[in-house]
């Protein structure tokens, strides 16, 4: 299990390499949400998502001699960019296995951060087999997207900041809505808040047809999504909660909240109009839940994590 102390250690390793994102606020969004709503814009994080935190935490924890031969990761895009960026900053090579249908911006950026990108078909090929072969051939250290203690601890630094910022605002009771794929960010935040802000309760948020975490929490066991589903929320279309993340989610989180694609697009448009930020679909499910599922919340205030902003112009124009 990951402990609060692991998050503090990750914070020390990350130092100033991750931006301390502010909490944004607009009275117009409060009115829609029916309560004070604060947004943690991790879309402004370096590489455009919170994933840099976990990637930096993991890569900085690998012993120098091992790290020197390089790292490998598989990711639909945001973890890829975080790992590529952190590897480059550490001066080591990175190989990233990405689905061929990932947003072009994410693939291009990953390459631009200096990584070697290997594409695969996510509906027919086994990414793990591809990754295992490359890792063995080149002696690369695997940095998993969420089921890795160092990664979860890194994402948990978002929770440390939320706790501090909520305290500055005098918020001692709030729902913290977190876009949830494999659960690395969600569990990391929940572990941090349990210790230092126990009145802040994490609620995992997911898009329709990818509500594996919400169903797993209800069933008290890990359940998978039906295969073959598609969603505009590419960043969080993970098959099921992680083996490391789920026990934390199960112990610490309130019920999941499931939002529609239309709600996601409306949340993206409102975030542009009222907060002046660009959120990608997968990063907007928490804000969508805050704005349009207020009846599922039982706290006087709400904090939504906007987890990423790596969205193509076409998709963004659709949201506007």
Q: Which residues bind a second copy (CB under 8 A)?
A: 16, 19-22, 24-28, 41, 43-44, 46, 48, 105, 109, 112-113, 168, 269, 272-273, 275-279, 309, 313, 316-317, 320
**Minimum separation from the CB atom of position 43 to a second copy (A):** 4
**Minimum separation from the CB atom of position 22 to a second copy (A):** 6
**Minimum separation from the CB atom of position 111 to a second copy (A):** 12
CA 295 – CA 175 distance, rounded (Å)? 12
Task: Return all residues near 21 (Cβ < 8 A) that are at least 6 apart.
Answer: 40, 41, 42, 44, 45, 161
Question: By C-beta, is 168 or 295 nearer to a second copy?
Answer: 168
What is the dihedral angle through the alpha carbons of 162, 205, 299, 197, rounded to the nearest 10 degrees? -30
**Minimum separation from the CB atom of position 293 to a second copy (A):** 24
Question: By C-beta, is 130 or 277 nearer to a second copy?
Answer: 277
Angle between helices 261-270 and 285-292 (to 10 degrees): 90
CA 133 – CA 88 distance, rounded (Å)? 22
Question: By C-beta, is 109 or 157 nearer to a second copy?
Answer: 109
Question: By C-beta, is 170 or 228 nearer to a second copy?
Answer: 170
**Minimum separation from the CB atom of position 52 to a second copy (A):** 12
Residue 221 CA, distance from chain mean position: 22
Angle between helices 184-196 and 4-14 (to 10 degrees): 110
CA 315 – CA 320 distance, rounded (Å)? 9
CA 192 – CA 4 distance, rounded (Å)? 6
**Minimum separation from the CB atom of position 292 to a second copy (A):** 20
**Minimum separation from the CB atom of position 215 to a second copy (A):** 31
Question: By C-beta, is 65 or 320 nearer to a second copy?
Answer: 320
Question: By C-beta, is 55 or 244 nearer to a second copy?
Answer: 55
Q: Quick one: DSSP state of residue 212?
A: H
3-state SS assignment for residue 161: helix
Instruction: Evaluate whether 301 touches 37 at the Cβ level (below 8 Å).
Output: yes
Instruction: Evaluate whether 281 touches 269 at the Cβ level (below 8 Å).
Output: no
Instruction: Evaluate whether 100 touches 122 at the Cβ level (below 8 Å).
Output: yes
**Minimum separation from the CB atom of position 309 to a second copy (A):** 3
What is the dihedral angle through the alpha carbons of 164, 168, 169, 173, rounded to the nearest 10 degrees? 50
Question: By C-beta, is 26 or 76 nearer to a second copy?
Answer: 26
**Minimum separation from the CB atom of position 290 to a second copy (A):** 18
Question: By C-beta, is 64 or 313 nearer to a second copy?
Answer: 313
Cα angle value 166/41/25 (rounded, 5°): 55
Question: By C-beta, is 42 or 211 nearer to a second copy?
Answer: 42
**Strands, E assignment, 113-161:** 116-120, 141-142
């Amino acid at each position: 299990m990951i402990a609060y102390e692991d998050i503090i250690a990750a914070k020390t390793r990350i130092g100033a390499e991750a931006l301390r994102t502010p909490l944004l606020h607009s009275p117009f969004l409060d009115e829609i949400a029916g309560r004070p709503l604060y947004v943690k814009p991790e879309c402004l994080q370096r590489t455009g998502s919170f994933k840099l935190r976990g990637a930096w935490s993991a890569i900085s924890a690998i012993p120098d001699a091992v790290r020197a031969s390089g790292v490998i990761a598989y990711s639909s895009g945001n973890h890829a960019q975080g790992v590529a960026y952190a590897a480059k900053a550490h001066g080591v090579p990175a190989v990233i296995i990405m689905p061929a249908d990932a947003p072009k911006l994410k693939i291009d950026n990953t390459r631009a951060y200096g990584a070697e990108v290997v594409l695969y078909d996510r509906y027919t090929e086994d990414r793990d087999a591809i990754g295992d072969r490359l890792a063995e051939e080149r002696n690369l250290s695997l940095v998993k997207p969420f089921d890795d203690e160092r990664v979860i601890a890194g994402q948990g630094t978002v929770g440390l900041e939320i706790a501090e910022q909520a305290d500055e605002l005098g918020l001692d009771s709030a729902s913290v809505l977190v876009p949830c794929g494999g659960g690395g960010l969600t569990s990391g935040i929940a572990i941090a808040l349990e210790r230092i802000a126990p009145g802040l309760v994490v609620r995992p948020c997911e898009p329709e047809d990818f509500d594996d975490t919400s169903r797993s929490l209800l069933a008290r066991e890990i359940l998978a999504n039906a295969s073959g589903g598609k969603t505009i929320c590419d960043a969080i279309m993970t098959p099921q909660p992680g083996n490391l993340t789920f026990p934390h989610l199960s112990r610490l989180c309130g019920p999941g909240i499931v939002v529609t694609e239309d709600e996601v697009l409306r949340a993206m448009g409102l975030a542009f109009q009222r907060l002046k930020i660009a959120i990608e679909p997968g990063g907007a499910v928490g804000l969508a839940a805050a704005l349009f599922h207020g009846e599922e919340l039982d706290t006087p205030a709400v904090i939504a994590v906007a987890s990423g902003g790596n969205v193509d112009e076409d998709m963004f124009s659709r949201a506007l």
